[in-house]
Structure 1
Amino acid sequence: MAIELYDTTLRDGTQGEHINLSVQDKLLITEKLDEFGMDFIEGGWPSSNPKDEEFFLKARKLTLDRSKLCSFGSTARLLQNIENDPNLQGLLHSETPVITIFGKTWIAHTSKGLGISEEENAELIYRSVSFLHSHGREVFFDAEHFFDGFKDNPLFALRMLKAAAEGGASRLVLCDTNGGSLPHEIDAIVRRVLAETGIPVGIHSHNDGDLAVANSLAAVIAGATHIHGTINGIGERCGNANLISIIANIMLKMDRNFTFVEHLSQLTSLSKFVYEILNMPPDGKAPFVGRSAFAHKGGIHVSAVMKDSSLYEHIDPKLVGNRQRVLVSELAGQSNIRYKAQELGIELPEKGELLKNLVNHIKELEHKGYQFDGAEASFELILHRELGNFNPYFEVRESKVTIESRKGSKNVDQAVLKVAVGNEIEHIAADGDGPVNALDKALRKALIRFYPQIKTIKLVDYKVRVLEEKRGTSAKVRVLIETGNGRDTWGTVGVSTNIIEASLQALCDSMNYHLFILKASIPSGEELLQD
């Protein structure tokens, strides 16, 4: 039997700290989730805020090929006002084919939170579900705090589920709302529920014990066929069950299928898409889809991976749309250097001292504080320089940066550079918003006459890391910059006890790399240097 996927990124996911989505954002994610193959997409709680009401209004115009849109809410507040309950009316007005409502299944919440009896709570659940079902909607019952409630009083918790089933609920979703259950507990309780109810069971796990994915998989092993979660595991407190990891594990490790998911290779792009919409940096260490998920740094590992990738990779990264990466660092061996050279399209000699010298050079640079994990352009220039393919296109002979602070007026930062290009010297000054911006402007100003091609590039990102923290302000710093030309981006690095000097090193590498790549693409006989 296929497993159903229920995505609650747009509702439960947005309850996470620093998570905010506009109506347009939610519509874009909805279309992407449908394209991927989600069975159900929970759009929000229409009675709780105007944004969700607007979303459901605009979502009616979407053409969803696979997914069913769901609205979310609670049971009615009062037994005597079921038909006029504003929450239930709001759910009906959302016009979604599926409605998910939650109810109390932990006796402590019923008596202390709602202040009603067991009989009244069961009736409230039954009549709320029945009312929505009578209006032609498929109803999923979200059993809030179910696992804590079951461990406290199993008979009460089961009675609430049976009330929902009698009212017409087609799925009973068991919630580990506090996120504190363990996989063996989930397994045993799901089996008990299936034996008692006979209705398809779902699982909704939170990650407070760092077990949301494990608990979801345990529920599936026990017989659950319906899984709630969010893309990238976003959500309140420590987050929800991460559907990215759940999907990959179920399809690749448990040999089970989902109703509509066909192209697992879209998993990485789906993860990145949601991060982009959220304006959040992707989690590099995320299993399956993270940039580091299949990254290898140790020389022995790389040597083995080059012979048989399964020796150090639990799956083929291409299956989930990711790729293998080999990092160059002080832990590198000759295998790392050779692998990276092949990846960059650089041919290295099979024998000789070149590889040995390169490995020793890289290790020496890393010992000084250089890092090439995020600065592959600097590493590529080192390779080409050692092979005799690259000489710098310019040389900064002198540099001076002044920072003038004026009380009550804007600070003035100025960089003065003396740059040699061939036999010519450019002596240039430029003001900037901060010393690094002044350096960047001065360097461009000095080079633009010779290399007008640099007009197309711009600084994308700038990071500073203090090394040898105990030395305080006299410590070395490592500067990593990312530069782009509208099509590609590349990273370069600089290290010094002077942050200005480190920044200038990274900037010079960035300019040189751009010019070197351009030269490689110019037909033979043409010149890069312009008069």
Structure 2
Amino acid sequence: MREQVFLYDTTLRDGTQGEGISLSVDDKLKIVTKLDQLGVHYIEGGWPGSNPKDMEFFRRVQELHLKKSTITAFGSTRRSGGSAENDENLLKIIESKVGTVAIFGKAWDFQVQEALRTTLAENLQMISDSVRFLKSHGLEVIFDAEHFFDGYKANKNYAMKALFAAEDAGANCIVLCDTNGGTLPHEISEIVKDVCGKVHIQVGIHCHNDGELAVANSLIAVQAGARQVQGTINGYGERCGNANLVSIIPNLQMKLTYTCVEEEHLKKLTSIAKYVHEIANQTAPSNQPFVGRSAFAHKGGMHVSAVLKHPQTYEHVLPELVGNNRRVLVSELSGQSNLMFKAQEWNIKLDKKDPTSKQLLETIKIKEHEGYQYEAAEASFELLVKQSYGSLKDYFILDYFKIFIEKNGDESFSTEAVIKLCIQDEIILTAAEGNGPVNALDHALRKALEQFYPIIRNMHLSDYKVRVLDETEATASKVRVLIESTDGQEKWSTIGVSANIIKASWLALVDSVQYYLMKNDDVIELVYPQKTNNSLGVSNH
């Protein structure tokens, strides 16, 4: 029989305390919907007494029809010297109309004396009064014992008194918090076991990641008896972050004997992790366990050969189970297995005995030596493979381009690109201005191509990166240009390398356009423009 572990998500509150993380009310509501679809049991929406935005959230979240999740509010125990009945923060929690609340109180005597500047006895009374007041209003109360592990190690007797005060006042669950994130796994295990043997209500765990142990500490706490796990999506949080639920969930459910979410919902993990990164305007770490783009990426030729025979040789779980997918990278470390895998993805039939395959591998290794990195530009790699096997169309051929940069008297610069292409036996000469040479080239190329391939209007460049490959060469060094493009539905990346930054940019730009046209070859409408006498107009015959 698998034991149930309850998930408590605090992305919307504790997660937003992380540097660079800010969520609007609309953002929070979108994330709530996704977490409910995943099956998270508790979603902490914020602190009703702290700001108007959180109060608006609690008002608007009532309009959502959640199927799995319970919305909780967060707050602190009453103020020292006051009463729970007149405490503004506690009254705001009641006003938020939630059914569940998590309130934190001090469990470390050092914090009571130095941070609260009150007596140890008063702190225990603050805990008891606050829990009892909230229970009298019919709320489910979760007590977060802040700094519990530090408090336990410093003064075990007092730390336990803080827990007993909450339990005796009617708390439904006591959560042990490693607030400073410095406790080691063996300490977590021993302390949680001790607590579970002395309290008679559910115990939870709340870990921070300052020692990069938040996930490990959460897992071992569950094994020691905790049955509620608090954390955030993608590990967002103050300082080094909180325990990452995206890693905790599959570890508990796939590797240990616990149930967190419904089995089929595990497949939503990758999409939800990416969604929250997007909403929070954060770059998703490629190496994020389970859900990262590189989590199941294989590069070494021997690794790929083994994975093709059996995935378990170099994968600890099947990527599909968490909604991710296997990727094979191609580089100077590649063997024929890498190439065969990629060709299979693109429906290209390759024979290991074909001399073209061996030649292609040599070409890849030479290009990698020159500075190309196809693992970051798979669109360029696909073009290279198809070109090697003669299955790539020439949608256009460059005759020449010129770039003019003029410095005006007011210190501003203007840039213009002139480009001459051959498209389907038509000679096209166009000119366009832009914000710099690459932008001008992009505009001129589009101006020419849109007349023949209207679909090109749907794509645009979404990112442009330049990397100097050898800084000791200064301005004479080769540069690597990576361009990311999108049509609003999909993204693809292309690469160009040269000692001339314009040439490198042009190579990446052309690959981006060629790739898009190739992918849409079956829907391309070729439109022949009317002749014109304008040498910088549409066409010349």
| TM-score category (smaller protein) | over 0.9
Instruction: Mark the CA change 1:259 to 1:400 in structure 2 (over 3 Å): closer, same or farther.
Output: closer
Name structure 2 gaps, 5 residues minimum: 530-541
Q: Which residue number in structure 2 is paired with residue 235 of structure 1? A: 237
Matched, 1:500 2:486: no
Instruction: Mark the CA change 1:159 to 1:407 in structure 2 (over 3 Å): closer, same or farther.
Output: farther
The one of 294, 301, 304 aligned to 1:302:
304
**Which letter maps to 1:303?**
S
> SS where residue 382 of structure 1 aligns?
helix
Q: For the residues of structure 2 that align with 1:56 and 1:371, how far apart are their CA atoms?
A: 48
Q: For the residues of structure 2 that align with 1:92 and 1:317, how far apart are their CA atoms?
A: 44
Matched, 1:46 2:48: yes
Q: Residue 204 of structure 2 contacts residue 230 of structure 2 at CA under 8 Å; is this kept in 1?
A: yes
Q: Which residue number in structure 2 is paired with residue 482 of structure 1? A: 484
Structure 1 stretch 122-131 or stretch 73-82: which is displaced more?
73-82
Q: Residue 80 of structure 2 contacts residue 122 of structure 2 at CA under 8 Å; is this kept in 1?
A: no
Q: Residue 43 of structure 1 contacts residue 56 of structure 1 at CA under 8 Å; is this kept in 2?
A: yes
Q: For the residues of structure 2 that align with 1:519 and 1:55, how far apart are their CA atoms?
A: 47
Q: Residue 480 of structure 2 contacts residue 496 of structure 2 at CA under 8 Å; is this kept in 1?
A: yes
Alpha-carbon deviation of 1:529? 6.9
The one of 327, 339, 342 aligned to 2:341:
339
Q: Residue 399 of structure 1 contacts residue 415 of structure 1 at CA under 8 Å; is this kept in 2?
A: yes
Alpha-carbon deviation of 1:28? 1.2
Alpha-carbon deviation of 1:444? 1.8
Q: For the residues of structure 1 that align with 2:264 and 2:366, how far apart are their CA atoms?
A: 48
Q: Which residue number in structure 2 is paired with residue 6 of structure 1? A: 8
Q: Residue 66 of structure 1 contacts residue 260 of structure 1 at CA under 8 Å; is this kept in 2?
A: no
Identity of aligned residues (%): 54
Q: For the residues of structure 2 that align with 1:305 and 1:39, how far apart are their CA atoms?
A: 36
Which residues in structure 2 correspond to 1:20-169 (within 5 Å)? 20-169=22-171
Q: For the residues of structure 2 that align with 1:169 and 1:394, how far apart are their CA atoms?
A: 71
| Cα displacement string for residues 141-190 of structure 1 (whole angstroms, at most 9, x for unaligned residues) | 10001111111111110011100101111111000000011100000000
Q: Which residue number in structure 2 is paired with residue 186 of structure 1? A: 188
Alpha-carbon deviation of 1:445? 2.2
Q: Which residue number in structure 1 is paired with residue 405 of structure 2? A: 403
| Cα displacement string for residues 52-88 of structure 1 (whole angstroms, at most 9, x for unaligned residues) | 0111111122222111111000000034422101011
| Cα displacement string for residues 96-153 of structure 1 (whole angstroms, at most 9, x for unaligned residues) | 1111110011101111222222221111111111111111111111000111111111
> SS where residue 21 of structure 2 aligns?
coil
Alpha-carbon deviation of 1:265? 0.6
| Cα displacement string for residues 250-294 of structure 1 (whole angstroms, at most 9, x for unaligned residues) | 011102102656521111111111112112222211000001000
Which residues in structure 2 correspond to 1:372-391 (within 5 Å)? 372-391=374-393
> SS where residue 399 of structure 2 aligns?
strand
> SS where residue 48 of structure 2 aligns?
coil
Q: For the residues of structure 2 that align with 1:134 and 1:424, how far apart are their CA atoms?
A: 82
**Which letter maps to 1:436?**
V
Q: For the residues of structure 2 that align with 1:194 and 1:12, how far apart are their CA atoms?
A: 25
Q: Residue 9 of structure 2 contacts residue 43 of structure 2 at CA under 8 Å; is this kept in 1?
A: yes
Alpha-carbon deviation of 1:37? 0.5
Q: Residue 80 of structure 2 contacts residue 123 of structure 2 at CA under 8 Å; is this kept in 1?
A: no
Q: For the residues of structure 2 that align with 1:486 and 1:326, how far apart are their CA atoms?
A: 25
Name structure 1 gaps, 5 residues minimum: none
Using structure 2 for the length normalisation, give the TM-score.
0.94
Q: Which residue number in structure 2 is paired with residue 442 of structure 1? A: 444
Q: For the residues of structure 2 that align with 1:14 and 1:91, how far apart are their CA atoms?
A: 19
Question: What is the RMSD of the two structures over their aligned residues, measured on CA atoms?
Answer: 1.7
| Cα displacement string for residues 396-448 of structure 1 (whole angstroms, at most 9, x for unaligned residues) | 23222222233536421111223233554333321101211100011122333
Q: Residue 462 of structure 1 contacts residue 480 of structure 1 at CA under 8 Å; is this kept in 2?
A: yes
**Which letter maps to 1:195?**
G
| Cα displacement string for residues 436-486 of structure 1 (whole angstroms, at most 9, x for unaligned residues) | 110001112233334334233222222222111222222111111122234
Using structure 1 for the length normalisation, give the TM-score.
0.96
Q: Residue 98 of structure 1 contacts residue 138 of structure 1 at CA under 8 Å; is this kept in 2?
A: yes
Instruction: Mark the CA change 1:377 to 1:260 in structure 2 (over 3 Å): closer, same or farther.
Output: closer
| Cα displacement string for residues 313-361 of structure 1 (whole angstroms, at most 9, x for unaligned residues) | 0000000000000011111111001100001111113422111111101
Alpha-carbon deviation of 1:528? 4.4
**Which letter maps to 2:92?**
G
